[in-house]
Homo-oligomer: A and B are copies of this chain.
Amino acid sequence: MKLAITGKGGVGKTTLASMLARTFADHGNRVLAIDADPDANLAAALGIPPALSIKLQPITGMKELAEERTGSTGGFGTLFKLNPAVSDLPDRFCITHDGIRFLWMGTLVKGGSGCACPENTLIKRLMGHLLLERNDVVIMDMEAGLEHLGRGTSQAMDALIIVVEPGQRSIQTAFQIMKLAEDLGIGDVFVVGSKVRDEGDRCLIETLIPRSRLLGFITFSDDIKRADLENIAPDKIALDSLAEVRAIKERLVACMAER
């Protein structure tokens, strides 16, 4: 199962991505978590120590590796064809921490050095080639906003999960994402309500989002806020939220099995 987590900026995409990765891994799935945002922070949310994540090469390095291995230039498609399984992904681009494999798009090294189009193309092609075994789950944390849907970065994903918070703006973004995902032919698009404080917040989301798409809610949590303040993995301290994400994961698995 290949899942992309998307939504407006600041709604809690990385928190959901990291906690979903944790619940799938705890359940015995082999999880590959991918940070597809140049403003990257999934590594920290997964509790990967900076000393480890700083050594990790970004996915753009795969292009050079493809050239080394295949002798051809520009042929990263070839590399993915030679390494089509999650377990084949070269170690220098993947670290395993607490039972979760992780790779990242890379960040901007220099202002004015250009767009993230090449990195998005790489991830899109990797996702198109990656052969999953029955037990594999890929969770990709997308960049905020809509542009990745123009690029079709998530085209090969099985499902999109859109995170919304109680408010018109993130819900409007969710509806735009649903429409754009349809253009891309992504059939399964779900929604998770985040930072829900009370019955009114929950009601707003339930009123606007079709019931068939809504996987559940994550209640606003001071523990998640504290995790960000202290730069620690939210699943280590926000145990109530982790239980909510476990229920969301179960609903997701049931929905995907039905289709």
Q: Does A231 belong to the interface (CB within 8 Å)?
A: yes
A1-24 residues with Cβ-Cβ distance < 8 A to B are 8-11, 14
> Which chain B residue shows the least CB distance to A228?
B167
Report A149-187 CB contacts with B as 1/0, cut-off 8 Å: 111100100000000011111001100100111111000
Which residues on the B side are within 8 Å of A151 (C-beta)?
112, 114-115
| A53 vs chain B, min Cβ distance (A) | 12
Q: Would B117 and A115 count as touching, CB distance under 8 A?
A: yes
| A229 vs chain B, min Cβ distance (A) | 6
Q: Which of B172, B180, B231 contacts A168 (CB 8 A)?
A: B231
Q: Which of B110, B146, B181, B230 contacts A107 (CB 8 A)?
A: B146
Q: Does A65 belong to the interface (CB within 8 Å)?
A: no
Q: Would B39 and A111 count as touching, CB distance under 8 A?
A: no
- Chain B CB within 10 Å — which of A112, A182, A230 has the most? A112
Q: Would A176 and B146 count as touching, CB distance under 8 A?
A: no
| A103 vs chain B, min Cβ distance (A) | 19
Q: Does A44 belong to the interface (CB within 8 Å)?
A: yes
Q: Would A112 and B150 count as touching, CB distance under 8 A?
A: yes
Q: Does A113 belong to the interface (CB within 8 Å)?
A: yes
Q: Would B152 and A147 count as touching, CB distance under 8 A?
A: no
A243–B181 Cα distance when bound, in Å, is 41
A191–B110 Cα distance when bound, in Å, is 20
Which residues on the B side are within 8 Å of A231 (C-beta)?
168-169
Q: Would A115 and B150 count as touching, CB distance under 8 A?
A: yes
Which residues on the B side are within 8 Å of A11 (C-beta)?
9-10
Q: Does A225 belong to the interface (CB within 8 Å)?
A: yes
Q: Which of B113, B150, B155 contacts A114 (CB 8 A)?
A: B150
Q: Does A116 belong to the interface (CB within 8 Å)?
A: yes
Q: Does A235 belong to the interface (CB within 8 Å)?
A: no
| A250 vs chain B, min Cβ distance (A) | 27
> Which chain B residue shows the least CB distance to A225?
B167
Q: Does A256 belong to the interface (CB within 8 Å)?
A: no
Q: Does A204 belong to the interface (CB within 8 Å)?
A: yes
Q: Does A41 belong to the interface (CB within 8 Å)?
A: yes
Q: Does A145 belong to the interface (CB within 8 Å)?
A: yes
List residues of chain A with CB under 8 Å of any chain B CB: 8-11, 14, 37-39, 41, 44, 107-108, 110-117, 120, 143-147, 149-152, 155, 165-169, 172-173, 176, 179-184, 204, 225, 228-231
Q: Which 3 pairs between the two chains have the least Cβ-Cβ distance?
A: A10-B10, A9-B9, A111-B183
